[in-house]
Amino acid sequence: VRPSLGVICNTVDCLEEESLYRLHQVYKVSIFPIGPLHMIAEEDSSSSSFVEEDYSCIGWLNNKARKSVLYVSLGSIASWEEKELTEVACGLANSKQNFLWVIRSETISDVSEWLKSLPKDVKVAIAERGCIVKWAPQGEVLAHQAVGGFWSHCGWNSTLESLCEGVPIMCQPHFGDQRVNARLLSHAWKVGIEWSYVMERDEIEEAVRRLMVNQEGMEMRQRALKLKNEIRLAVKGGSSYDALNRLVKSILSANL
């Protein structure tokens, strides 16, 4: 790090100002927090997903009330076992909330057969209030007015995408930086809920209702909206915009 021109960070000053300052103090190099990087390229119509996205879920969302849908996705790596999937299905059904649920093909080979094995009342609830897809256009989903919460593994990209759209998170980290991100969401920024992570229907139902229905969730949505506005200001003319300009000037002056 020390001989380098600096460190480029996919983050925003308003989220991690103290950590960025400490990083600068330790390494004595310039720090360029120019994120969220996905917003820099948001005018690009092409998708960065390696999996085919199912856009039918957007039509489904169009028919749902504002902030009434929980988006459930553990990203491209983390997954649940079939027994856990059944508990999730029952918990979502019992919560009485609308949900858009991503179940990747490698998680379970035949979703239709698995659905047949569920209790009748759960199948009815999924048919009435649920939408299950193999992969979703996450950016469009989180930006949709019907989405009021995100059950996430808390990977950094998903965390930033959710914050940029003002969507609070039901945290279920699995590995790596996800646990730190979940802690930031729940304890530092207070836009995410920690729960027991016990994959039982009653625990799941309670956590979903905390996020989507209870006063706790409403307050998180207000804080998430405030963060969304701060992040967008940073990109359009604030700290991230300035950091990007500093980076360009540093590169030009270094004559690389």
Q: CA–CA separation, 103 vs 225, rounded Å?
A: 28
Look at residue 82 in the predicted model and tell me its pLDDT: 85
pLDDT at residue 52, rounded to an integer = 84
Q: Give the rounded distance of the alpha carbon of 73 from its chain centre.
A: 8
Contacts of 168 (CB under 8 A, 6+ apart): 148, 149, 150, 162, 191, 192, 193, 211, 217, 220, 221, 223, 224
The larger pLDDT score, comparing residue 154 to residue 1, is at 154
Residue 45 has pLDDT above 70, yes or no: no
CB atoms within 10 A of CB 139: 18
How far is the C-alpha of 211 from the C-alpha of 194, rounded, in Å? 10
- d(CA 72, CA 232) in angstroms, rounded, equals 25
pLDDT of 42 reads 65
pLDDT tens digit sequence for 54-73: 999 999 999 999 999 999 99
Q: What is the pLDDT of residue 46?
A: 54
Q: pLDDT band at residue 217, thresholds of 50, 70 and 90?
A: very high
Q: How confident is the model at residue 157 (pLDDT cuts 50, 70, 90)?
A: very high
Residue 47, pLDDT > 80, answer no
Which of 13-27, 99-113, 153-167 shows the lowest per-residue confidence on average (mean pLDDT)? 99-113
Tokens encoding 112:
């239709």
Average pLDDT over residues 208-215: 97
pLDDT (0 to 100) of residue 216: 96
For residue 98, what pLDDT is reported?
98
Select the more confidently predicted residue: 192 or 80. 192
* Residue-level pLDDT at 80: 79
